[in-house]
Chains A and B, each alone.
Chain A
Amino acid sequence: MMDFRILKDRAANGMMFFLTLATLLLVVAMGVGLYLKASPILEDLSLGELLFSSKWLPGERKFGFLPFLMSTVWVTVFAVTMAVPIALLTAVYLTEYAKSGIRKYVFPALDILGGLPSIIYGIWGILLIIPWISTYLAPHFVETSTGYSLLAGGIVLGVMILPLLVSLFIEIFTSVPGELREASVSLGATKWQTTKSVVIRKTLPGIIAAVVLAVSRALGETIAVLMVCGSRIQVPKSVFDDCQPLPALIAAHYGEMVSVPLYDAALMFAALILFVVVLLFNIISRMILYRIEKTFF
């Protein structure tokens, strides 16, 4: 007869395997669920029409996602361009230059920045960034601006992805073995030259992967973007225009979607686009990051 303890071990094995599998299948379930819900609109309209038309008239069954796609792209580009240089410099400073005493103050600050909820960033944007844009910045360039704009969204998003970028960069930089730096310094290179041509060059794939990861984080941010980007649906032409990225579209209109035919399918299609893009970006960047981890250890 089999020992009860071994039986228990086997049972636990089965149960844990099941739990692991079930949580993993969540990815598949999400994709399938969103696809099924979005399929009515895919049958009704061609993919080209959905992605490249800018006519958004749910009442007339016209669903062109171009305004939302372009808004998403521009806000993200803006946020990343703002955040990457700051994050890169901060991470280099913390790993290559700063003493541990300085790190003791910066790390908690980054923790706080990373832990603050999206809604707090939104309120901050409204209290500080939007008045700043509408009273100080915009008058130099355009006639009137409420401040609720692509620029505001970009700035707020940029600050939001900053802690993620810094912590990823730090992780990548610390994985570079110290001997490589010493070799460079012993040839007479300065610290910055070492950083530039050894550390950064050696970890370039990792840096790119980290940026891709941050992009996918920025793509999905909802509430803050919803609060500061304005509400007019249009393809933004300048940084002072309103914009409405995909997540904001879902959050702003999910309440109306049950009453208008195909509207729910359209919003689920928006979620599906987000899901697919974020999934691809994440898989690619994680694979790169895993490979880097392996080469250095």
Chain B
Amino acid sequence: MNFKSIEEKIFKILMIGATLTVFAFVISIIYSIASKGWNALSWNLITRVGGYDLYAQWEGSGFLSAIVGSLYIVGASTLLGLLISIPVVFYLNVYLKKRSKMAYVARIAYDVLFGIPSIVYGAFGFTIMLYLGMRGSLISGIVVVTLLIIPIFIRSMDEVARQFPRDILEAAYSLGATRFETIFVVLRQIAPGIATASLLSIGRAIGDAASVMLTAGYTDHIPTSLTQPVGTLPMLVFNLYSQPSPEAQERGYSAALVLTLIVLTLSISGRFITNRFSKNKLQ
């Protein structure tokens, strides 16, 4: 056998090895979290308020406040993010020309914003809060997470919107529509893009701990107003794991399992939507 076919064989084996390594990482992460977290997990734990207070009765503490806290932050910031980013995507793709300088700069800027670490968003939010004399609260958590996910929203919807055939716009114009009036045509066309973008953003928002940690405070109660602090699932995991008692850590693993399950569901449904709707897309 000559050198080049030996080389070919070796690299093919290496490549398959690398791909299997990726699988191994996924399985090892999910398996280790699931096997550790399953023991302490119970329906009771999920549906009860309170979380990490070492001296409170363990019987009365659970994940509910963190789950609701996560829902509040994720729900509100996703909604706000959509409201802000849909007009921006529409503007970039319909109002601006295809080769517009502003669109070019804007796309780079959103990519850059996407790359900025969440801890920097958190620190930025923290400085604003100090300036305003605010303490960690639901509202500041929501604002920071909204800022964090806007670039994801814009860039992933924009990817879809860029594929959008311009002929459809021209058809609308020729019927006398203004640019603004084409918005519903465009929205209908990029709907699957909006869905995947939302799932991506929700995934990022629900798992983010660094920015929320700096801006939302922490509590084991369900907040009743926007100015109260709030706890989220990743923060609950972090706090439980930081406790010295093995029982608390055990619960931390269970909380991690709950979080993993939520994120897995999101990512699988994201894939499903992409596959499902990209088949009958206009190209």
Q: Do A and B come from one complex?
A: yes
- B270 to A111, Cβ gap below 8 A? yes
CA distance A20 to B120 in the complex (A): 21
Is A24 part of the contact surface with B, judged by Cβ < 8 Å?
A: yes
Is A247 part of the contact surface with B, judged by Cβ < 8 Å?
A: yes
Is A133 part of the contact surface with B, judged by Cβ < 8 Å?
A: no
Is B214 part of the contact surface with A, judged by Cβ < 8 Å?
A: yes
- B22 to A93, Cβ gap below 8 A? no
B4-27 to A contact mask, C-beta < 8 Å, 1/0: 110110011011111101110110
CA distance A223 to B85 in the complex (A): 28
B122-152 to A contact mask, C-beta < 8 Å, 1/0: 1110111010000000000000000100110
- B26 to A112, Cβ gap below 8 A? yes
Q: Which residues of A contact B (CB under 8 A)?
A: 5-6, 8-9, 12-13, 15-17, 19-20, 23-24, 26-27, 29-30, 33-34, 36-37, 85-90, 92-94, 97-98, 102, 106-124, 126-128, 159, 162, 166, 189-193, 213, 216-217, 219-223, 227, 247, 250-251, 254, 258, 264, 267-268, 271, 274-275, 278-279, 281-283, 286-287, 290
- A120 to B116, Cβ gap below 8 A? no
* Given A90-B15, A115-B267, A286:B111 Cβ within 8 A: yes
CA distance A127 to B253 in the complex (A): 10
Nearest A-chain residue to B36, judged by Cβ: A127
Number of A-B contacts (CB under 8 A): 266
Q: Which residues between 238 and 283 of chain B lie within 8 Å of chain A, taking CB atoms?
A: 238, 241, 252-253, 256, 259-260, 263-264, 266-268, 270-271
- In this complex, the member of A190, A213, A216 whose beta carbon has the largest number of chain B beta carbons within 10 angstroms is A190
Closest CB of chain B to A117's CB: distance in Å?
A: 3
Within 8 Å CB of A120, what residues of B?
29, 33, 207, 256, 259-260, 263
CA distance A191 to B4 in the complex (A): 10
- B123 to A34, Cβ gap below 8 A? yes
- In this complex, the member of A114, A127, A217, A274 whose beta carbon has the largest number of chain B beta carbons within 10 angstroms is A127
- In this complex, the member of A9, A16, A93, A110 whose beta carbon has the largest number of chain B beta carbons within 10 angstroms is A16
Nearest B-chain residue to A104, judged by Cβ: B275
* Given A90-B19, A290-B108, A117:B95 Cβ within 8 A: no
- A283 to B108, Cβ gap below 8 A? yes
CA distance A84 to B85 in the complex (A): 33
- A109 to B124, Cβ gap below 8 A? no
Is B165 part of the contact surface with A, judged by Cβ < 8 Å?
A: no
Closest CB of chain B to A22's CB: distance in Å?
A: 8
Q: Which residues between 76 and 131 of chain B lie within 8 Å of chain A, taking CB atoms?
A: 84-85, 87-88, 90-92, 95, 102, 104-113, 115-124, 126-128, 130
